[in-house]
């Protein structure tokens, strides 16, 4: 049975209870529902704060975060946070709209010296800063519903040059692969023997160019591994869609670079925010303990091991997703009028959970100037007036859910508590 998380009258977290006890408390008017996922109730009286020692383990990562909170006998909560990877794309979209808007101005003051990186110390790129902030946000979210007394975070450091060349040592670190070359283009052309890697010189085009294997949307960079030498003829044919330059898959080191960059920033920031000292561990220790317990490799199992879990009874894990609240939507169907950006914010937004006809639905979107919304469950899609629905929870920020996103429409536990 899934645990129900309990808050005291003043909002401080208490130890969770069973579903049956929570049901009786709500029906007797001694508690009320404050959150659906994770299901949390708040007591209507001041309860004794008898809590146990709860350890929270966090498996930090670039694309996913594992978390697990345990006591001596059982696991109280666990899950996996799926981090957003579209921040760079959204920034590019914002830049496009901003430049288009500024190009219509007659005069603007020069702002070439107004740069964030030159004004702030320890500045991180927005995509990296978002992932770092999400680590702290999920820890705070768990501490809101459980009286966490200790937090353990896994940190890791990766030697990128050692990964590329296991035999590197000593002064070899100072002699990189591009040493002695004017720039990366010169190195790539010399590496490829000044020969087109597609036609192998058959086109007899002497003009050589450097081609990005991946496009900008795929996260292209200027690393030598992502560049190849091609002739101008093949390069133009590729971009016109006449031919396709076939290349082997590229190994990227974004996760390793991210962990090396933010590992101590994360620990230092948590120690300054938490009322207790945050400890850390390393990946090789986690791997050894996980193998000793015979657990499969996963973020949730790693977090369980990081929290010093052994033979505790496991709980059903959550899948935690993130969704940005608003979109930059430019209206194109203006029938002869100039395009405009919709500025009105409708009452219900995508991913909000609502009740309609005593059933639970998820909002897909709004239309008719926000007067009607489109709802969906596991199988059906319904359009209805907003007057016919009532809000259960907003779909913003971190969204906790089990592998089945919406509960069934039968008289399950969640619906019985919500009436």
pLDDT digit string (tens) for 278-309? 999 998 999 999 999 999 999 999 999 999 99
Over range 111-115, report the average pLDDT. Answer: 67
pLDDT digit string (tens) for 264-285? 899 999 999 998 889 999 989 9
Q: Cβ-count burial of 357 within 10 angstroms (0-12 exposed, 13-18 middle, 19+ buried)?
A: exposed
Q: Distance between CA atoms of 363 and 373, rounded to whole angstroms?
A: 7
- Looking at residue 171, its pLDDT comes to 78
Over range 228-232, report the average pLDDT. Answer: 91
Which strands form 279-282's sheet, in the order they lie side by side?
279-282, 150-155, 55-59, 64-70, 75-82, 318-323, 397-401
- Looking at residue 254, its pLDDT comes to 82
Asked whether the predicted pLDDT for residue 138 surpasses 50, the reply is: yes
Mean pLDDT of the chain: 84
- Looking at residue 406, its pLDDT comes to 38
Q: Distance between CA atoms of 310 and 292, rounded to whole angstroms?
A: 10
Residues comprising the chain, all counted: 419
Q: Distance between CA atoms of 298 and 137, rounded to whole angstroms?
A: 21
Share of the chain above pLDDT 90, in %: 39
- Looking at residue 87, its pLDDT comes to 87
Q: Distance between CA atoms of 158 and 59, rounded to whole angstroms?
A: 16
**CA geometry: angle 330, 335, 337, nearest 5 deg:** 65
Where does the pLDDT of residue 153 fall: very low under 50, low under 70, confident under 90, or very high at 90 and above? very high
Q: Report CA 74 to chain centroid distance, whole Å.
A: 27
Asked whether the predicted pLDDT for residue 335 surpasses 70, the reply is: no
Please, what is the end-to-end C-alpha distance for the chain in angstroms?
Answer: 20
If one counts every other C-beta atom within 10 angstroms of the C-beta of residue 125, the result is 13
Please give the residue that has the higher pLDDT: either 64 or 116: 64
Q: Distance between CA atoms of 383 and 395, rounded to whole angstroms?
A: 19
Over range 189-202, report the average pLDDT. Answer: 87
């Amino acid at each position: 049975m899934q645990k129900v998380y309990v808050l005291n009258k003043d909002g401080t977290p208490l130890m969770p209870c069973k579903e049956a006890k929570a049901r009786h408390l709500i029906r007797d008017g001694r508690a009320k529902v404050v959150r659906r996922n994770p299901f949390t109730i708040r007591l209507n009286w001041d309860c004794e704060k008898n809590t146990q020692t709860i350890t929270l383990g966090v498996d930090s990562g670039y694309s996913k975060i594992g978390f697990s909170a345990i006591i001596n006998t059982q696991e109280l909560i666990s899950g996996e946070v799926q981090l957003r990877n579209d921040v760079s794309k959204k920034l590019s979209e914002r830049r496009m709209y901003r430049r288009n808007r500024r190009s219509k101005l007659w005069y603007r003051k020069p702002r070439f010296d107004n740069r964030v990186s030159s004004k702030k110390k320890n500045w991180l790129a927005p995509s990296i800063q978002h992932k770092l902030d999400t680590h702290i946000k999920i820890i705070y979210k768990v501490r809101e519903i459980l009286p966490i007394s200790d937090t353990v975070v896994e940190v890791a450091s990766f030697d990128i040059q050692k990964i590329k060349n296991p035999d590197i040592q000593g002064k070899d670190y100072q002699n990189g692969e591009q040493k002695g070359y004017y720039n990366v283009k010169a190195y790539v052309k010399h590496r490829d023997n000044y020969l087109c890697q597609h036609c192998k010189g058959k086109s007899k085009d002497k003009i050589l160019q450097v081609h990005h294997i991946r496009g900008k949307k795929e996260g292209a960079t200027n690393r030598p591994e992502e560049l190849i030498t091609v002739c101008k003829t093949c390069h133009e044919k590729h971009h016109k869609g006449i031919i396709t330059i076939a290349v082997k898959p590229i190994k990227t080191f974004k996760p390793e670079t991210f962990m090396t960059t933010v590992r101590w920033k994360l620990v230092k920031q948590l120690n300054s925010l938490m009322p207790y000292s945050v400890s850390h561990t390393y990946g090789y220790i986690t791997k050894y303990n996980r193998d000793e317990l015979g657990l499969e490799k996963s973020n949730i199992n790693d977090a369980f091991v990081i929290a010093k879990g052994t033979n505790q009874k496991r709980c059903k894990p959550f899948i935690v997703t993130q969704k940005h609240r608003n979109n930059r939507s430019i209206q194109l169907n203006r029938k002869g009028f100039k395009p405009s950006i919709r500025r009105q914010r409708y009452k219900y937004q995508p991913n909000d959970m609502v009740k309609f006809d005593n059933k639970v639905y998820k909002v897909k979107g709004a239309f008719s100037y926000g007067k009607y919304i489109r709802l969906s469950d596991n199988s059906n899609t319904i359009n209805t007036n907003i007057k016919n629905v009532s809000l259960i929870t907003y779909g913003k920020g971190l969204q906790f859910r089990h592998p089945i996103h919406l509960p069934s429409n039968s008289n399950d536990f969640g619906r019985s508590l919500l009436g």
